[in-house]
Amino acid sequence: EAGVTQFPSHSVIEKGQTVTLRCDPISGHDNLYWYRRVMGKEIKFLLHFVKESKQDESGMPNNRFLAERTGGTYSTLKVQPAELEDSGVYFCASSPFWKLMDEQYFGPGTRLTVT
Amino acid sequence: AQSVAQPEDQVNVAEGNPLTVKCTYSVSGNPYLFWYVQYPNRGLQFLLKYITGDNLVKGSYGFEAEFNKSQTSFHLKKPSALVSDSALYFCAVRGDNYGQNFVFGPGTRLSVLP
């Protein structure tokens, strides 16, 4: 089966611009997660979808970040307007509904550079 | 609050020698523990997990990890390192209470020298 895919693999934008990241989870996976790794630090949880519903968005840094998962398939994460501190690698992960407490399957990440 | 520590930023080991990548954790409730590996330009790849049962768990590529409840540790080990094991390794934990999310450590870069 195809793994989790993310697009783009790398994005370079200027401060103040808008960027939209996309994640396609493994087909049939109801759980979808977004994470971020900034400046070589730990990977931090951003939010969790179950199908199209936001289950937990406690990790979202501020209201410049908007995540959507219309239809419960792919998800987008929009950053508007981008700031320098948003630079980092954004990972998406998915898992089947019955594996809520179990391992997650990660995509390759999107490296975002804000200049 | 949940937390994970990986005390070593970098671990160097000669090919053929045993390797250990350390991880300690703090969590509410019983821990679910995971190791992931990231190869260059790739996503995080699941290696192994401890949920319950035997303290020694075996995973992919000959890796294993030992859960030590008293020391709150979950060190990753391999008896004989390969150059191809060189990568970034992340330890992660979550509690067994519903609603708790994965917490990752900062990662340890493993370099296996030929």
Q: Given an 8 Å threshold on Cβ–Cβ distance, is A102 in contact with B49?
A: yes
Judging contacts by C-beta atoms under 8 Å, the chain B residues touching residue A56 are: 99, 101
- Chain B residues in contact with A105 (beta carbon < 8 A): 46
Q: Do B49 and A105 touch (CB under 8 A)?
A: no
- Closest-CA residue of A relative to B107 is A42
For residue B28 the two structure tokens come to: 């509410």
**Taking CB atoms and an 8 Å cutoff, what residues of chain B touch A59?**
101
Nearest CA in chain B to A59: B101
The reply to whether B107 touches chain A by the CB within 8 Å rule is yes
The per-residue b/e assignment along B97-111, b for 16 or more CB within 10 angstroms, e otherwise, is eeebbbbbbbbbbbe
Mean pLDDT per 10-residue run, chain A (115 residues)? 90 97 95 92 92 92 94 95 96 85 90 96
Q: What angle do CA B67, A30, A23 make, to 5 degrees?
A: 95
Contact B45 A3 (CB under 8 A): no
Q: Residue A45: which of B51, B101, B105 has the nearest Cβ?
A: B101
Q: How far is A75 from chain B (nearest CA, A)?
A: 17
**Chain A residues within 8 A of B3 when measuring between CB atoms:** none
Residue A98: the pLDDT is 73
Among residues B45, B46, B67, B64, the alpha carbon closest in space to that of B55 is found at B67
Distance CA B13, CA A112 (A): 32
Q: Is B88 on the interface with A (CB under 8 A)?
A: no
| CA dihedral of residues B89, B94, B96, B99 (deg, nearest 10) | -140
The confidence score (pLDDT) of residue B20 equals: 97
**Of residues B102, B112, B111, the one with CA closest to residue B9:** B111
Nearest chain A residue (CA) to B94 = A101
A10: nearest CA in chain B? B41
- With a cut of 70, list the residues of chain B below it in pLDDT: 97-100
